[in-house]
Amino acid sequence: MGLDMYQEYDFVREIFDMVDEVTKSHISKLCFKGPMEDLTMTVNLQPAVTAVNMACLAALQKEGIEPDLTAGHSLGEYSALKAAGVTSGEDTCKLVFKRGHLMHREATKHKGAMHAIVKLDIDTVRQIVDEAQEKGIVAVANHNTAQQIVITGAPDAVEYASELAAAQGGKGIPLKVSGAWHSELIRGAEQDFNAFLEEMPFDAPNTPVLFNVTADYESDPNRIKEIMSSQLCSPVRWYESMCKMQDENIETFVEVGPKKVLSGLLRKIVPDTYPHEVHNVDGMQGLESFLKAVT
């Protein structure tokens, strides 16, 4: 991922060189050549995805494209901060690299699991989670769409919650993850990450950012740091964030970075009657298609 842009732009090569330098690792090589099992390790994946996000963002900015507002799903929220001018590229990379290390550390201490629950609404899933807590730690991790909610926690508790969901007409789909992200099982990372955040310079956003934890805006840099610290163990309120964008009449949505997961979620959220268009900028082809559509 990111290879076509790396070959096309000097400034993209500079981004990947910077990420390799910050991480003291060959993140660029993993992005371009793999192997997949190394790329998908949390400590590598977080800076790798962020590098591609920033490369795509830089290519858009070179063409004079700036967002009216930004949002990012979990890890992607750091790229949203970069897009809004809250953090520099280097500091963004430092943050996600530290975050990945701390999350990996906690995941090796506490075995975790995550399942996507489909066909049930958030209130029903919350009730199921409350009931399943008798088996151990389990919580809502991501409210992705009206009827796609990811749960997270101890394997037995998550499995039990999936069984309860099935009994109510839902379905639990196990996800390939290495830890119980956005749960109490990685609470041990929060204090160290908060201390790391405190040392990072944050600026007020140039454009509004919708945050995962609050599904709302925040402009105070110190409050943003608090939100990003609590994001580790808090639910991602993505569905609410996308609904808020509709409330504010956003009509052009652009997913920036690898894959098309967020675009897929958006298509399940936004009704056909709402005037909108969805674009993906995940490489040169996506960039060219988007520019052709909007310029």
CATH level 2 (architecture), domain 113-174: 2-Layer Sandwich (3.30)
pLDDT tens string 208-265: 999 999 999 999 999 999 999 999 999 999 999 999 999 999 999 999 999 999 999 9
Q: Find the mean pLDDT for residues 105-128.
A: 97
Annotated domain spans of the chain: 3-108+184-294, 113-174
User: What percent of the chain clears pLDDT 70, i.e. is strictly above it?
Assistant: 100
Question: Beta partners for 159?
Answer: none
**Residue 31 burial (CB < 10 Å; 0-12/13-18/19+)?**
buried
Q: Quick check: 145 pLDDT over 90? A: yes
Active site members: 74, 182
CATH 3.10.180.10 fits 3-108+184-294, yes or no: no
pLDDT at 295: 83
- The pLDDT of residue 86 is 98
Residue type, 11: F
